């Protein structure tokens, strides 16, 4: 076996010249368990690249931060996500790299990711990426960016209406909104799945938050989205840029605020069976915790955390179903006995378990909120390495989700593998589409239920096919998406 040193004390193993009888897998198995990840990821993130060139880097860190590999020429993980990810696999479970001229650390190992995600806020706080995205303005101090002492009471309040049971109580609203939009789609139309799913989910989120009063919401959010996206671009070029200096941004934000404050006032007077009323009733015990300003921030936070995430997931799921007509046919046959039922929302999970499996498997292959980041606040050691205070920590759930010793043929779309939940402990450990620890997605029940119902209602009406042979070009803003989205076709079922 030929060994050569890498630049930071690590050991490079060139598997192409690995002539001993020991297989790469045996060799890696003899290393510390978490190093096994390296073998899993020898293929590039480009799912069309099936080259088998194994060039593994095994880290032999000494427990000192300075001895971790330092990779000085990594591209930016958001701006050049694909190229970052295809290189990141080469440098061991954790390595140092430069993020906008500051040193940061990247993790490739699920157990290290979990250790960071589960750490208390006194040790691990908000990361530079999410902090930077939020500075585009408009979100206020919502849960997603809250790592302070007010996080716990607010989290508790919002958690209540978003439990498994709380979300199912929203079933009739969701069903009505989703079905009425889906039925109105045009037959034989070529469509970009993301545009379609974004408007589907925005409407459904509006309907669940503000039952019966959400038409204006769609326009207000749309106008604000346009301005916010512009602000993201400007801020990434010029961090000193202040979005509200632009009049259109200020107007869009003020319209959004007006709408949400008026809805809060209306629901305080006349509650309905919607999410906003349920949040308000959860706050009644402690009015001080959620003032109208706090409530406004949390509602805007839910809209932003819950809208593009679910829409992108459904866009990927539609793309995968169009590529796999056999899976689509199986789902359609599960849905057929309850097609058109007024109580579809109560029955589809039992009748069509494949729908949830399709969403789980879509989120394994395309975890839309894959990129997570934190900052070391106080003394924190990872795998025996003491990390310096102020250090940004970044990682992506994409890496463990595509690990071949965890998931057999990881690039294959195979909902069957998760039909009865992830079977092995290592799969549960490696599956992180909704994060874990205190900041675990608060909308996990809503997102899973809504996405499974939506995909079931799509195949109730339509058959999806591909109209575009271009490979998927994956890119990133804060979320994973495709650019361009491959076009799909709709035929009535």
One of 104, 116, 447, 457 touching ligand HEM (CB under 6 A): 447
Question: Closest Cα to residue 99, out of 392, 476, 475, 398?
Answer: 392
368 belongs to the binding site for ligand HEM (CB under 6 A): yes
Tokens 């205070």 -> residue? 389
Which tokens is 491 given? 């035929």
Residue 302 as a binder of ligand HEM (CB under 6 A): the answer is yes
Out of 441, 454, 459, 490, point to the residue binding ligand HEM (CB under 6 A): 441
The overall longest dimension of the chain from CA atoms, in Å, is 76
Q: Read off the tokens for 206.
A: 């509006």
Give the interface segment with ligand HEM, choosing from 164-172, 323-331, 340-348, 368-376 (CB under 6 A).
368-376
Omega before 484 cis (within 30°)?
Answer: yes
* 443, 452, 485, 490: residue in contact with ligand HEM (rule CB under 6 A): 443
Nearest-CB residue for ligand HEM: 443
CA torsion, ordered 373, 356, 429, 103, to nearest 10 deg = -10
Query: Minimum Å distance from CB 143 to ligand HEM?
Result: 4
Contact region with ligand HEM (CB under 6 A), list: 179-187, 191-199, 306-314, 388-396? 306-314
Give whole-number Cα distances, 470 to 81, 320, 462, 476, in Å. 19, 14, 23, 18
Contact flag: residue 211 with ligand HEM (CB under 6 A): no
d(CA 407, CA 40): 9
The stretch among 220-228, 256-264, 303-311, 320-328 that binds ligand HEM (CB under 6 A) is 303-311
Whole-number Å distance between alpha carbons of 196 and 320: 15
Q: How does DSSP assign 417-457, residue by residue?
A: GGBTB--SHHHHHH--TT--GGGS-TTHHHHHHHHHHHHHH
**Looking at beta carbons only, is 89 or 139 nearer to ligand HEM?**
139
- Under the binding rule (CB under 6 A), the answer on residue 318 touching ligand HEM is no
Tell which one of 97, 431, 434, 481 touches ligand HEM (CB under 6 A): 434
Q: How far apart are CA 475 and CA 136, in angstroms?
A: 20
Instruction: State both tokens at 182.
Output: 């889906």
Indicate whether 107 belongs to the interface with ligand HEM (CB under 6 A): no
Assess 433 for contact with ligand HEM (CB under 6 A): yes
Tokens in use for 104?
């940061």
- Tell me the window of 18-26, 132-140, 253-261, 441-449 that interacts with ligand HEM (CB under 6 A): 441-449
d(CA 202, CA 221): 9
**Beta-sheet pairing, 102-107 with 462-466:** unpaired
Site string for ligand HEM, 151-170 (x = CB under 6 A): ----x---------------
- Work out how close the CB of 478 gets to ligand HEM at its nearest, in angstroms, rounded to a whole number: 10
Q: Could you tell me which stretch among 68-76, 261-269, 364-372, 416-424 binds ligand HEM (CB under 6 A)?
A: 364-372
Q: Is 358 in the site for ligand HEM (CB under 6 A)?
A: no
Q: Which is nearer to ligand HEM, 302 or 406 (CB)?
A: 302
Residue among 162, 155, 150 nearest 275 (CA)? 162
Residues forming the site for ligand HEM (CB under 6 A): 143-144, 155, 301-302, 305-306, 309-310, 313, 368-369, 372, 433-435, 439, 441-443, 446-447
């Amino acid at each position: 076996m030929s060994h050569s040193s890498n630049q930071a004390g690590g050991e490079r193993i060139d598997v192409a010249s690995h002539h001993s009888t020991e297989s790469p897998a045996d060799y890696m198995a003899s290393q510390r368990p978490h190093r096994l990840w390296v073998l899993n990821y020898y293929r590039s993130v480009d799912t069309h690249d099936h080259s088998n060139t194994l060039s593994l880097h095994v880290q032999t860190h000494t427990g000192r931060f300075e001895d971790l590999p330092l990779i000085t020429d990594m591209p930016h993980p958001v701006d050049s996500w694909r190229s970052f990810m295809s290189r990141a696999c080469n440098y061991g479970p954790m390595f140092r790299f430069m993020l906008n001229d500051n040193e940061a650390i990247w993790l490739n190992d699920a157990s290290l990711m979990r250790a960071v995600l589960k750490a208390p806020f006194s040790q691990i706080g908000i990361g530079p990426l999410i902090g930077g995205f939020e500075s585009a303005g408009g979100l206020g101090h919502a849960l997603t960016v809250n790592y302070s002492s007010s996080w716990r009471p607010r989290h508790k309040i919002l958690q209540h209406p978003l439990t498994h049971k709380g979300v199912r109580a929203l079933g009739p609203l969701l069903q009505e909104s989703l079905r009425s939009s889906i039925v109105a789609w045009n037959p034989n139309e070529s469509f970009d799945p993301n545009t379609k799913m974004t408007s589907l989910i925005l409407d459904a989120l509006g309907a669940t938050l503000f039952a019966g009063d959400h038409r204006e919401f769609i326009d207000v959010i749309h106008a604000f989205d346009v301005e916010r996206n512009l602000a993201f671009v400007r801020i990434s070029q010029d961090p000193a840029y202040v979005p509200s200096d632009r009049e259109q941004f200020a107007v869009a934000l003020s319209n959004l605020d007006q709408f949400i404050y008026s809805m809060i006032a209306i629901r305080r007077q006349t509650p309905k069976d919607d999410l906003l009323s349920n949040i308000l009733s959860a706050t009644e015990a402690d009015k001080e915790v959620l003032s109208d300003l706090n409530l406004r921030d949390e509602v805007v936070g839910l809209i932003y955390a819950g809208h593009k995430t679910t829409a992108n997931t459904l866009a990927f799921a539609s793309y995968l179903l169009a590529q796999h007509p056999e899976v689509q046919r199986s789902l359609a046959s599960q849905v057929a006995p309850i097609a058109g039922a007024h109580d579809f929302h109560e029955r589809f999970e039992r009748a069509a378990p494949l729908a949830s499996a399709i969403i789980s498997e879509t989120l394994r292959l395309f975890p839309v909120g894959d990129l997570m980041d934190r900052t070391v606040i106080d003394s924190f050691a990872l795998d025996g390495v003491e990390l310096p205070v102020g250090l940004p920590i970044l990682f992506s759930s994409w890496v463990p989700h595509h690990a071949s010793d965890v998931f057999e043929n990881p690039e294959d779309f195979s909902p069957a593998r998760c039909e009865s939940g992830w079977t092995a402990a290592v799969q549960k450990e490696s599956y992180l589409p909704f994060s874990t620890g205190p900041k675990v997605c608060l909308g996990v029940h809503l997102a899973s239920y809504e996405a499974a119902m939506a995909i079931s209602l799509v195949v109730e009406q339509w058959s999806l096919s591909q109209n575009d042979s271009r490979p998927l070009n994956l890119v990133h803003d804060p979320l994973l998406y495709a650019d361009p989205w491959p076009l799909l076709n709709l035929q009535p079922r």
